[in-house]
């Protein structure tokens, strides 16, 4: 582009419908004009006061993908991902220093002549005993003897059976005078790695060494929970700490590694290093908040190669970590915590000036694409340009294409941008799901239990919603959040709203008035009577403890709910352990170990706080888990549910998610599906269109006591609740409704919050009775229903992987056909504990979603 004959940068000119629209390289619109003449390289025109000269044409596919807005010189990431281009150095000073090695170490050429190292030492002793090379008694079986001729010798045998050999650097990027030597994962570790873990170690190594075709040295290991991200990381660090692909070299690739994690996982990381490498092979420095630690032991000493530290502690010691030789690589476990640009822990890591950064996260996309951008920009700064460019060129088109009523053009563009983003980021993001462990892990079944609210729960709910204070609460965002929490507690047990003391009063006066309006006698009822979830749990615990030797984990987001669960277990004389935010860090791993090693007669249940202990810990001593309530963030629930389905589990796993049907629980669960749909699209390449319109979310505070299962109705499934396995189809295969009807529905969904919210059924139009065509009107009504179900089927495809079971079939005594179906469902469920709950009408489970995986 030219303005006043001054070069102003590159841009993109899109010509369509007789108009030429100009965008700069950041995706910002610069202007448009009418233009019907053919545009060829060399053609010129003026737009928005700027002189534009056509340089070259790009395809429509290239434009839709958005790749020209990225810092890759317009190079197609799709092409790159299918080839093996020569690795290239990625450090900022590579172009300024021709002698830079593949490790980014700059040679100091300031001295005209070097002083021989031998001049600093005494003459070589004559004793053969002293001349002989030191033999390491621990690693002698895995380390190759060094070649006396000085030729490069790998540390481990690359030709050995099962050897894991890393990719070699391109010789043209190796510093002058250096030779390439094979880097081989230590067989001591390598023999424990499964195939997907070997692939993961190689992937991470290529990323942090700058061998892959993107500009950066960072990576995100986004494997689902239970795939061994910790072991893969240990293998990577051990390889980098002990080997170097260049010979001769001045040491290993890295000297110091930093692992940052939630404080709850510090002990787990330490235990894993000890498990796989032992204390004698590697020094691990744990900064666990103890007053006796000296950071200089790590930064300046040689005894420790790895430091493990919590996110909060890191912020206070970042300056000290810069001293000494610095940090060569940072691993951020549960790295989705670094999801905002203003995150203090992320800033602390960036201040360490370490280019090699690895994020470990089983849930890299939790809420939106802006968080995903922040994580990508953290590991590979600038790769996606700035956030404003990313938002215009990727986030906005992708989200727009997923909205109800999106145009065909919006959907085409959004799909192209989504595919391009997935292709680009898979160069440094590796994600595998738990299905690859099917041959290693015990089978897992997930159940979603929709519990009909009890009379007490319905009364409390209605008291809140009918209160004149309710309208005022919705006018305040702070009060609205408190109200949501309040209704979530009602879903668990009305008893949770009882004041523990006179000082236990909500900060918001309107919320306090709402609580005071509820009759106290309702709140004080026994949870087993007043809560449908406690009814279900009570029956399940009794059956499980008496008929099996299995153990169970009970998870909640609230300590107050854990208190009620603890009281209930005590009343049943069932022994338990508990881990929540108040549990001292030093005792947490001991609690986990004790539970895993003892029988059910000693500790039958483990009470777990989803926020404090839901990530990273291993509770394979239990084979059943109950998620008692839900969190807005699906990652919190997924992390918690993954605690028992892991390596080492010896029994089939059953996971139960409790929801109060028609209430806040179910609404939050529905919203979770939209967030998981976003993660699936970008990370796994699944083409779900999971999203909810504003109209569908307006009933957030409504309690629907009449619907058998609101989620199943919203899904529009034709299975009739008899547990049939429906084929899961992509959104493109779902038939579109009649065009005329679809247009009117789009008008409905695009409307404002007014009286048009509830459209008039076409079958109810007023016409003279003598002229009424009942069959035609019924046909129109059926088409409208199919149209709505078709659109909603697109939005909730993830739930089509479940079998949907209407439990009323278990209570029908007369109809033979229904009895037969009920027997078939019972056999397919293969869970006697759950069946005992479903057959008990007092338990009030109205619907079950079941999925084996």
Contact 323, 352 (CB under 8 A): no
SS3 433: coil
Residue 535 token pair: 């009814």
Host H or E run for residue 247: strand 246-247
Say how many residues make up the chain: 853
Give dist(CA 278, CA 238) in Å, integer: 12
Host H or E run for residue 412: helix 408-425
DSSP string across 311-361 = HHHHHHHHHHHTSTT--SEEEEETGGGG-STT-HHHHHHHTTT-SEEEEE-
336 φ/ψ angles, rounded to the nearest 5 degrees: -65, -10
Residue 146 token pair: 């060094």
Q: Looking at residue 760, what is its pLDDT?
A: 30
731 φ/ψ angles, rounded to the nearest 5 degrees: -60, -30
Q: Looking at residue 471, what is its pLDDT?
A: 75
- Closest by Cα among 178, 184, 141 to 166: 184
Residue 435 token pair: 């299905």
Residue 196 CB coordination number (10 Å) = 16
Contact 711, 450 (CB under 8 A): yes
* Residue reference for tokens 């990577």: 236
Q: Looking at residue 379, what is its pLDDT?
A: 94
SS3 52: strand
* Residue reference for tokens 């025109």: 45
Q: Looking at residue 741, what is its pLDDT?
A: 28
Residue 434 CB coordination number (10 Å) = 19
Mean pLDDT by runs of 10 across the 853 residues of the chain is 64 80 79 78 81 83 74 40 39 37 36 40 41 48 65 88 93 84 95 95 96 93 88 97 86 95 89 92 88 86 94 91 91 85 85 94 73 91 90 89 82 89 91 82 91 92 82 74 87 88 70 82 88 95 95 94 95 95 86 94 95 77 95 81 86 95 88 62 50 48 77 78 57 35 31 30 38 47 44 58 85 64 78 90 87 83
Host H or E run for residue 488: helix 477-492
Burial 366-390 (b: 16+ CB within 10 A, else e): bbebebbbbbbbbbbeebbbeeebb
Q: How far does Cα 700 stand from its chain's mean position?
A: 25
Contact 240, 253 (CB under 8 A): yes
Peptide bond into 248 cis (omega under 30): yes
Q: CA neighbours within 13 Å on the CB side: how many for 632?
A: 7
Look at domain 179-435 and name its CATH class.
alpha beta
Q: Strands 6-7, 11-16: parallel, antiparallel or unpaired by DSSP?
A: unpaired
CA dihedral sign of residues 466, 467, 471, 477: negative
Give dist(CA 361, CA 184) in Å, integer: 26
Which neighbouring-strand residues pair with 306? 257, 284
Q: Domain-by-domain residue ranges, the chain? A: 2-81, 179-435
CA R_g for the chain: 31
């Amino acid at each position: 582009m030219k303005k006043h004959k001054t070069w102003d940068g590159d841009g993109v000119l899109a010509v369509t419908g007789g108009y030429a629209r100009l965008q700069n390289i950041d995706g910002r619109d610069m202007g448009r004009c009418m233009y019907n003449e053919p545009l060829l390289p060399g053609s010129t025109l003026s737009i928005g006061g700027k002189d534009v000269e056509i340089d070259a044409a790009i395809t429509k596919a290239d434009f839709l993908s958005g790749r020209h807005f990225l810092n890759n010189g317009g190079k197609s990431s799709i092409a790159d991902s299918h080839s093996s281009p020569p690795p290239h150095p990625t450090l900022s000073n590579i172009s300024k220093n021709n002698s830079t090695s593949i490790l980014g170490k700059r040679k100091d050429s300031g001295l005209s002549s070097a002083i021989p190292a031998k001049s600093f030492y005494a003459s070589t002793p004559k004793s053969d005993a002293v001349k002989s090379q030191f033999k390491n008694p621990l690693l002698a079986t895995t380390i190759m003897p060094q070649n006396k001729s000085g030729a490069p010798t790998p540390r481990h045998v690359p030709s050995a059976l099962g050897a894991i050999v890393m990719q070699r650097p391109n010789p043209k990027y190796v510093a002058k005078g250096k030779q390439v030597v094979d880097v081989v994962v230590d067989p001591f570790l390598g023999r424990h790695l499964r195939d997907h873990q070997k692939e993961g170690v190689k992937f991470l190594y290529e990323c942090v060494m700058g061998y892959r075709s993107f500009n950066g040295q960072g990576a995100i290991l986004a494997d689902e929970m239970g795939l061994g991200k910790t072991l893969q990381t240990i293998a990577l660090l051990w390889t980098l700490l002990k080997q170097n692909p260049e010979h001769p070299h001045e040491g290993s690739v890295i000297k110091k590694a930093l692992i940052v994690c939630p404080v709850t996982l510090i002990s787990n990381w330490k235990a894993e290093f000890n498990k796989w490498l032992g204390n004698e092979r590697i020094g691990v420095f744990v900064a666990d908040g103890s007053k006796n630690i000296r950071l200089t032991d790590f930064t300046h000493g040689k005894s420790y190669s790895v430091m493990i530290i919590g996110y909060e502690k890191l912020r206070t010691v970042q300056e000290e970590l810069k001293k000494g030789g610095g940090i060569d690589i940072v691993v951020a476990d549960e790295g989705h915590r670094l999801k905002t640009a203003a995150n203090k822990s992320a800033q602390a890591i960036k201040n360490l000036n370490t280019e090699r950064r690895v994020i470990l996260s089983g849930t890299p996309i939790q809420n939106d694409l802006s968080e995903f951008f922040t994580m990508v920009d953290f590991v590979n700064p600038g790769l996606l340009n700035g956030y404003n460019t990313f938002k215009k060129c990727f986030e906005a088109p992708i989200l727009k294409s997923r909205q109800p009523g999106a145009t065909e053009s919006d959907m085409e563009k959004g799909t192209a941008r989504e595919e391009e983003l997935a292709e680009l980021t898979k160069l440094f993001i590796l994600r595998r799901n738990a299905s690859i462990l099917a041959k290693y892990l015990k089978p897992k079944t997930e159940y979603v239990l929709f519990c009909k609210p009890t009379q007490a729960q319905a009364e409390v709910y209605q008291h809140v919603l009918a209160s004149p204070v309710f309208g005022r609460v919705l006018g305040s965002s702070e009060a609205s959040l408190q109200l949501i929490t309040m209704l979530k507690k009602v879903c668990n047990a009305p008893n949770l709203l009882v004041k523990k003391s006179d000082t236990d009063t909500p900060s918001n006066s309107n919320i306090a008035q709402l609580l005071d309006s509820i009759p106290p006698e309702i709140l004080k009822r026994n949870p087993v009577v007043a809560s449908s979830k406690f009814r279900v749990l009570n029956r399940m615990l009794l059956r499980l403890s008496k008929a099996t030797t299995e153990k169970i984990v009970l998870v909640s987001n609230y300590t107050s709910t854990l208190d009620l669960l603890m009281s209930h277990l005590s009343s049943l004389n069932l022994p338990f352990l508990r881990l929540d935010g108040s549990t001292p860090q030093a005792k947490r791993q001991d609690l986990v170990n004790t539970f895993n090693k003892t029988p059910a007669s000693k500790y039958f249940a483990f009470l777990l706080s989803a926020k404090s202990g839901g990530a990273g810990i291993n509770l394979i001593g239990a084979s059943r888990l109950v998620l008692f309530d839900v969190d807005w963030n699906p990652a919190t629930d997924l992390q918690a549910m993954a605690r028992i389905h892991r390596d080492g589990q010896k029994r089939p796993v059953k996971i139960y998610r409790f929801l109060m049907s028609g209430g806040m629980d179910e609404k939050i669960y529905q919203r979770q599906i939209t967030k998981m749909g976003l993660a699936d699209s970008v990370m796994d390449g699944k083409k779900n269109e999971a999203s909810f319109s504003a109209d569908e979310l307006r009933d957030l505070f409504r309690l629907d006591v009449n619907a058998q299962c609101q989620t199943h109705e919203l899904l529009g499934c034709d299975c009739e609740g008899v547990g049939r396995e429906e084929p899961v189809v992509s959104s493109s295969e779902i038939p579109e409704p009649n065009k005329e009807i679809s247009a009117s529905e789009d008008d409905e969904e695009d409307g404002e919050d007014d009286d048009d919210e509830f459209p008039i059924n076409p079958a109810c139009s007023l016409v003279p009775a003598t002229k009424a065509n009942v069959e035609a009107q019924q046909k129109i009504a059926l088409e409208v229903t199919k149209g709505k179900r078709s659109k909603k089927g697109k939005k909730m495809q993830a739930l089509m992987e479940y079998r949907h079971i209407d439990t009323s079939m278990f209570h029908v005594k007369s109809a033979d056909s229904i009895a037969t179906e009920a027997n078939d469902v019972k056999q397919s469920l293969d869970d006697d504990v759950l069946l005992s709950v479903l057959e008990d009408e007092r338990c009030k489970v109205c619907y079950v979603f079941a999925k084996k995986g």
